[in-house]
Chains A and B, each alone.
Chain A
Amino acid sequence: MTSTPSVELRVAVVTFPGSNCDHDCYRAAKDVLGAETYFVWHRERDLRDPDVVILPGGFSYGDYLRAGAIARFSPIMAAVRRFAENGGLVLGTCNGFQVLCEAGLLPGALVRNRSLRFVSRWVRLRVENAATPFTNAYREGQVLRIPIAHGEGNYVADEETLERLEAERRVVFRYCDADGRVTDEANPNGSMHGIAGIVNEAGNVLGLMPHPERAVEALLGSTDGAGVFESMRAHVLAGLSAAADAGLGSHSSEPVGRP
């Protein structure tokens, strides 16, 4: 393992059979962040000491039972859970969000879109909380343009959970129109409260249906998703420098999130 202090981030992208956004997440982490990025196959048990874990989109195990329902039993998920419990940053996009909900790392569930159809389009998101490890590069109320592509992205939770999410400002992204208004028309899948992304109680696990990794290049239509990656880097580096100040060094024998 890296023993010398380095500003290079280590990003693990977990690949399930049927993941199809794994390469996109890999490229975004590597190209946007210059991060040391690697794949972890779902049968592995060790995440190999990352700073960030990404659960990519796709159709893990074909999603034949229920999106994400089988992936949570993968051997690697135990390591992801420990990593998250120790404060490591976990980003789940699309199917990754579904896996996080199925695995109990995030509350609620994602059910079939209101239209009952797969929906692939560019949507707008309002940044609801810019004080998370995933959104510190944005300003609150900022409107982002990012694509979605899913059949089951309709976020549902019981009233109590929703109230808690709102009260604790854990709704991080909400679907909105071009002017930042959260309207029913701007909601592409019927999600309750227009929810596009939420964090866990500790704030270190983010699940979102839109694909920030698909919005990191002007050539492809938007760079608005890059902020998610830049925010994670800023957060990790701040943590590393704090740790260095305390004489711990980076990637020491007890790194943050080591399983």
Chain B
Amino acid sequence: MSERQETATAPKPRPGDPPITPELVAEHGLSPEEYARILQILGREPTYTELGVFSALWSEHCGYKNSKALLRALPTEAPWVLQGPGENAGVIDLGDGYAVAFKIESHNHPSAIEPYQGAATGVGGILRDVFTMGARPIAVLDSLRFGPLDSPRVRYLFSGVVKGIGDYANCVGIPNIGGEVYFEDAYEGNPLVNAMAIGLMRTEDLIRAEASGPGNPIMVVGARTGRDGIHGATFASEELQEGSEARRPQVQVGDPFTEKLLLEASLELIRSGHIVGIQDMGAAGLASSSSEMAARAGTGVDIDTALVPTREPGMTPYEILLSESQERMLVVAKAGHEEEVRRILEKWELEAAVIGRVTDDGMYRVRENGVVVCEIPGEQLVKGCPVYVREGVESEDAQRRRAFDPLELEPSRAMEDPTAVLVRLLASPNIASKRWVHEQYDTTVRTSTVVPPGGDAGVIRVRGTRKGIAATVDCNGRYVFLNPRRGAMIAVAEAARNLVCVGARPRAVTDNLNFGNPLKPEVYYQMREAVAGLAEACRAFGVPVVSGNVSLYNESPAGAIYPTPVVGMVGVLDDVERHLRAGFRDPGDAILLLGRNTAELGGSEYLKVVHGLVAGDVPAVDLEAEKALQEAVLELARAGLLRSAHDCAEGGLVVCLAESALADPERPLGCEVRLSDDLPPAALFFGEAQGRIVVSCAPEDVERVLETARRHGVPAARIGTVGEPGGLFIVEGAGRRIEAAAADLADAYHHALPRIMEQAVAAGE
């Protein structure tokens, strides 16, 4: 150890370091202004190592330089929030001595290039974020976006990502409880892979990622450091382009088996009392974890890269600091407890090495065999990154599309056969059953899954209590594209509605802000408006944002993705026995609609599938009406009056009814529904008006359900009756009639995705 050595002079270039030129600075993703700031902070030219460290910490991925100013608008506090943004994960109080940690994170760029490893390591990283808070991961969810499935490349990405997510989480033994998948042209060159993890802990086990206590040893534990993923954080902060394939070596490789050992070892370490802080070595690896832990504690660090166990000899400090090798943790132990830490790691067949000490001088100091190669004021490194507020201007394309009135197309010829339209919508990959995905994920391991993927939200019971935890991920990027502010509000409202539909009260949010290049005014406009929409809706529902992730530069040569602020929301059921499901249950049950049908068709799946249009303004959101609706359904759920509840979303009311009727592929149910609204047929059947939930109840409870809705000021009406297994699915309204055998609809709905993917296999892909 070399912590006693003095640094008499500034670090000098190592032999073999390239000279610092404007080109080299630009290659590191730093602007001339940012470089000027670095010169000012250091009072000298940086070494190559220092340039690499600045580049990583000041990347969008670590530094949030283009989003920080906007993010301040988000509400982050509530009495039940134990840990808000800024840590590895957010934490909320569950009661009964338990707390829930959760976070969502993107792995978009790696997955675009190497879908299997990109997605797998995305899951690995988010699991580590949760268990470094002291929580045992109990569930994962995934939010995915791809281009249209008629492209072989897209099918390759889709199946690779799903397999990557599955193989990793299955091996570690964490059930998947929900997710979403959308297929849109805008994601063709730049898919989105967002993974969310939820962990459960005893409240007293909560630990933070702080390097406190000067003199405390800093240890690297877990896997060895290799040359993989160097500068992944910087890579994630630039646009995908021709030649991005050459970035493949920057995609890390995951090892879920080591992760499982690391998980057990970390939880044991945290409970042992031998450590003061722990952080995942994720994006920007050792550089970010060591500097961020020190900055949080207001301390400095002095580490020596020669002490880091490496997979290969000859690695430079630059490489060691910026490697994103997976399944590694940075641990700050209590002084004198190094041996105990090492013993715990050994039990799990993992390595631990002391690489330096916490200091009190606030400097981020790195040595190689005792020689200082990097010395940066730590606070400036972590928090000195420039923050930009840019100009935002809405694109003319979006304005033009939004101004279009889709009702001009109605009544369309297509609606002369609404049954055929329904079949097309049920088979549309955006709506079709995602069983092909879920069946590759272990959903029942840990024996706590009450509502598996495929419903409105997943539900996990909390053993030893009566409680349940529900979670969902939601965002319709097409809506956000057409109307960023309202689209983002809809994402929050829908997430809350989904939780309510399983009987859970919404509690908190983790958000994944996926956007294009923020330097483009139209993209910055989308960001600004979408974040404002998120903030407004989160305030209205009383759900603080406790963690999140920003992924920018999601562009391909074809342009930016749809702005996609994914909302991961967690809710709580006080009595998990009172959970609800989306599927109708018994023939003869009454079907009721809570909420109001409207004449809106903008942004709908109907418009896209039938008319080939992405246009029109998105449905209106009335946050007060939403809240009343959600309170009503929560009260009904608690009273045990409902047999099912399902949110109306893509595809509108009739698709919602069909999803409830067809939920069990082995037992598709018929139903008979009559709608009396005086609305254009397409809007009535397939419009995507917000604030609607279809519920079912026993016939004798109809009056009580209606009365409860009335009391909350929620429009409610009985619209039909659940039919027999294998019966007819009938919906009448606006002078049109849909009639089809439930079995035929079930075939369209449940087999659309497998057919597309299996044809691809048959074609030799």
Contact = CB atoms under 8 A, between A and B. Distances in A.
B260 A18 contact: yes
Interface in B212-271: 255-258, 260-261
Contacts of A147: 444
A220 B440 contact: no
B576 A120 contact: no
A82 interface: no
A57 B170 CA distance: 11
B256 A219 contact: no
A66 interface: no
A220 B450 contact: yes
A219 B444 contact: no
B48 interface: no
A196 to B, nearest CB: 16
B34 interface: no
A121 B260 contact: no
A85 interface: no
A219 B461 contact: yes
Nearest to A177: B666
B579 to A, nearest CB: 9
A118 B170 contact: yes
A106 to B, nearest CB: 23
A18 B257 contact: yes
B443 A21 contact: no
Nearest to B136: A23
Interface in B569-603: 576-577
B445 interface: yes
Interface string B663-701: 000100000000000000000000000000000000000
A149 B447 contact: no
A17 B256 CA distance: 11
Nearest to A124: B666
B256 A59 contact: yes
B438 interface: yes
Interface string A123-164: 000000000000000000000000101010000000000000
A120 B256 contact: no
Contact of B443 (A117, A120, A178): A120
A199 B172 CA distance: 28
Contacts of B171: 18, 20, 58-59, 62-63
B666 A178 contact: yes
A118 B440 CA distance: 5
Contact of A120 (B172, B439, B461): B439
Given A62-B256, A62-B257, A118-B167, A149 B450 contact: no
A36 interface: no
B440 A120 contact: yes
Given A18-B171, A62-B256, A219 B442 contact: no
Nearest to A116: B761
B726 to A, nearest CB: 13
B72 interface: no
Contact of A149 (B167, B170, B348, B349): B170
Given A17-B257, A21-B173, A59-B256, A120 B441 contact: yes
Contact of A117 (B440, B444, B447, B449): B440
A173 B170 CA distance: 24
B257 A24 contact: no
A220 B448 CA distance: 7
Interface of A, secondary structure class, is mixed
Interface string B153-195: 0000000000100110011110000000000000000000000
Contacts of B257: 17-18, 59, 61-64
Interface in A2-30: 17-18, 20-21, 23-24, 27-28
A121 B443 CA distance: 8
A121 B255 CA distance: 25
Contacts of A59: 170-171, 256-257, 260
Contacts of B348: 17
A214 interface: yes
Contact size range, A: 20 to 34
A64 B255 CA distance: 10
B71 to A, nearest CB: 36
B446 interface: yes
Contacts of A151: 167, 170
Q: Which of B256, B261, B439 counts the most A-chain CB atoms under 10 A from its CB?
A: B439
Contacts of B448: 220
Contacts of B576: 219
A21 B257 CA distance: 14
B440 A20 contact: no
A102 interface: no
Contact of A28 (B438, B444, B446, B447): B447
Interface string A45-76: 00000000000011101111000000000000
Given A59-B171, A178-B666, A17 B445 contact: no
Contacts of A63: 171, 257
A58 B173 contact: yes
A18 B173 CA distance: 9
B379 to A, nearest CB: 41
B173 A20 contact: yes
B447 A17 contact: no
B264 to A, nearest CB: 9
Interface string B414-457: 00000000000000000000000011111111111110000000
Contacts of B666: 178
Given A27-B447, A28-B447, A17 B440 contact: no
A211 B442 CA distance: 12
A121 B261 CA distance: 27
Contacts of B173: 20-21, 58
B260 A20 contact: yes
A213 interface: yes
A220 B444 contact: yes
Contacts of B167: 118, 151
Contact of B446 (A24, A61, A64): A24
Nearest to A211: B444
Interface in A202-229: 211, 213-214, 216-217, 219-220
A165 interface: no
A20 B172 contact: yes
A79 interface: no
Contact of B447 (A58, A119, A178, A220): A220
Contacts of A62: 171, 255-258
B449 A220 contact: yes
Nearest to B435: A121
A219 B445 contact: no
Q: Which of B170, B261, B348, B463 counts the most A-chain CB atoms under 10 A from its CB?
A: B170
B500 to A, nearest CB: 20
Interface in B475-526: none
Contacts of B256: 59, 62
Nearest to B667: A178
B447 A24 contact: yes
Nearest to A15: B264
A59 B440 CA distance: 15
Contacts of B260: 17-18, 20, 59
6 contacts: A62-B258, A63-B257, A120-B439, A120-B440, A151-B167, A220-B448
Given A213-B447, A219-B461, A219-B577, 16 more contacts: A17-B260, A17-B261, A18-B257, A20-B260, A24-B446, A57-B445, A63-B171, A63-B257, A118-B163, A118-B440, A120-B442, A120-B443, A178-B666, A214-B447, A217-B447, A220-B448
6 smallest CB-CB distances across A and B, nearest first, come from: A20-B173, A62-B257, A149-B442, A59-B171, A147-B444, A24-B447
